[in-house]
Homo-oligomer: A and B are copies of this chain.
């Protein structure tokens, strides 16, 4: 067996262990009885340990070098697979086992402190353990940077956004930050000139909500033979290869949040279910990056499901599902509900147009903290300043400020920028797809996602990690990420309605 084929076998095993962890995590959030938590910690810690052993097996590096030497073969998938194998190895092998463990322990402990600190809005309580997490993250970043190149922050970012560079992101985000405050101001003014959304009276029985959600999932092409919809406190898309499981959280008195949550996770799920069959268990067969993943969810949720033609289809369907009556069920009113703009403190509650302000703030702060230019102690003040500059509001306390997200306590440094990179990518891809296929929008008006999903399968899902993120975007849309397209989308939706 060639070195390359030995590598394929090893990476299949690695994928299988990662998949097992994926199912255990899904179970933990949907099915597991509360008292089983200690055992589950033991199981996932052990599997993570075994996974790390498989990923850092010294024999792996020999095989990689051998395969790279022997492998000038013509198959671009195999070449790309080898490139992704090397990348996976770099990320795993760059960090000494003791640092992996110390970093993981710091994050676990800090997460627990964070729950108390957030509840009490007490930043001083969090600070010492957050400083330890940051220190470990900087060490991890520095260790990876020696092999990956770039800065420690970029090395952390690379785990979510392979090849991501701060110079590129800075340039993009600076442009967005340049027009955003004024755009939000004008969007709010415009909104004030329109009627307020009329409340849609509930209750909305959970079973009916689930039926409607599953209807949209089916319409979008979600394959229930290879996936599920369940309920969890925090919605997510998870599971395993060929077993894509999404969740939502229902409220009796309001149905739009859960429904658009389902639609969002369905976008993630379509990406997972559309990965190329032949490469499913190989690194090249996995999703390209977190920004591309987020682009797929936002494409379906923000671009497709919030466009007027689709809302015109959805309004009577929802009315019929819940047996509602009155003008509040009009497409116009529904559209107003799902495109309402409001300056708010909490990222996860933010609307499409204020969301990037939350993200750019966090990106700038985490980059400065990892780079040693901002001390954890100065975070609350820097946060307040940034919120004022980008969004024009000042959080009344740290609970509604720098204590709101789990990412930093949990060790997810370098993740934040992918949200807004994803939103920009989604706008640009939807724009290209509509230009490529004139039938796409009319089909959405009939509740048909077929043309959109066909375009995504062809341009995005089917490529998995064959291309770099930049090449993928350029091959799909004809140009690199272009802030102007994103801006035009926001202006059309929020200034010209």
Q: A193 to nearest B CB, angstroms?
A: 48
Which positions 10-31 of chain A face chain B at CB distance < 8 Å?
Answer: 12-13, 15-17, 19-20, 23-24, 27, 31
Q: CB of A243 within 8 A of chain B?
A: yes
Q: Which of B36, B42, B43, B49 is in CB contact (< 8 Å) with A226? A: B36
Q: Bound state CA distance, A49 and B17, in angstroms?
A: 11
* Interface residues of A, dominant DSSP: helix
Most B C-beta atoms less than 10 A away, residue of A17, A31, A39? A39
Q: Which of B15, B36, B50, B228 is in CB contact (< 8 Å) with A243? A: B36
Q: CB of A2 within 8 A of chain B?
A: no
Instruction: Mark interface residues in A427-442 (1 if CB within 8 Å of B CB, else 0).
Output: 0000000000000000
Q: Assess A242 versus B36: contact at CB under 8 Å? Given A20-B24, A27-B23.
A: yes
Name which residue of chain B comes closest to A280, CB basis: B39
Which positions 23-67 of chain A face chain B at CB distance < 8 Å?
Answer: 23-24, 27, 31-36, 38-40, 42-43, 45-47, 49-50
Interchain CB contact under 8 A, A40 and B281: no
Q: A11 to nearest B CB, angstroms?
A: 12
Which residues of B sit under 8 angstroms from A39, Cβ to Cβ?
16, 19, 240-243, 280
Name which residue of chain B comes closest to A242, CB basis: B39
Interchain CB contact under 8 A, A228 and B33: yes
Q: A442 to nearest B CB, angstroms?
A: 32
Name which residue of chain B comes closest to A228, CB basis: B33
Q: Bound state CA distance, A24 and B280, in angstroms?
A: 20
Which residues of B sit under 8 angstroms from A12, Cβ to Cβ?
42
Q: CB of A378 within 8 A of chain B?
A: no
Q: Which of B13, B46, B280 is in CB contact (< 8 Å) with A46? A: B13
Taken together, the copies of this chain in the complex come to 2
Q: CB of A223 within 8 A of chain B?
A: yes
Name which residue of chain B comes closest to A243, CB basis: B36
Interchain CB contact under 8 A, A47 and B33: no
Interchain CB contact under 8 A, A16 and B33: no
Q: CB of A225 within 8 A of chain B?
A: yes
Q: CB of A395 within 8 A of chain B?
A: no
Q: Which of B19, B40, B50 is in CB contact (< 8 Å) with A43? A: B19
Interchain CB contact under 8 A, B240 and A35: no
Q: CB of A227 within 8 A of chain B?
A: yes
Q: Bound state CA distance, A36 and B39, in angstroms?
A: 25
Interchain CB contact under 8 A, B243 and A42: no
Interchain CB contact under 8 A, B281 and A33: no
Q: CB of A179 within 8 A of chain B?
A: no
Which positions 210-262 of chain A face chain B at CB distance < 8 Å?
Answer: 223-228, 240-243
Q: Which of B16, B27, B33, B49 is in CB contact (< 8 Å) with A42? A: B16
Interchain CB contact under 8 A, B23 and A225: no
Q: Bound state CA distance, A19 and B33, in angstroms?
A: 15
Q: Which of B16, B24, B38 is in CB contact (< 8 Å) with A23? A: B24
Interchain CB contact under 8 A, B228 and A34: no
Q: Bound state CA distance, A225 and B34, in angstroms?
A: 6
Name which residue of chain B comes closest to A36, CB basis: B243
The 4 closest A-B pairs by CB, nearest first: A36-B243, A35-B225, A16-B46, A35-B226
A-B contact pairs, 8 of them (CB 8 A): A12-B42, A20-B20, A35-B242, A36-B240, A36-B242, A40-B240, A40-B243, A42-B241
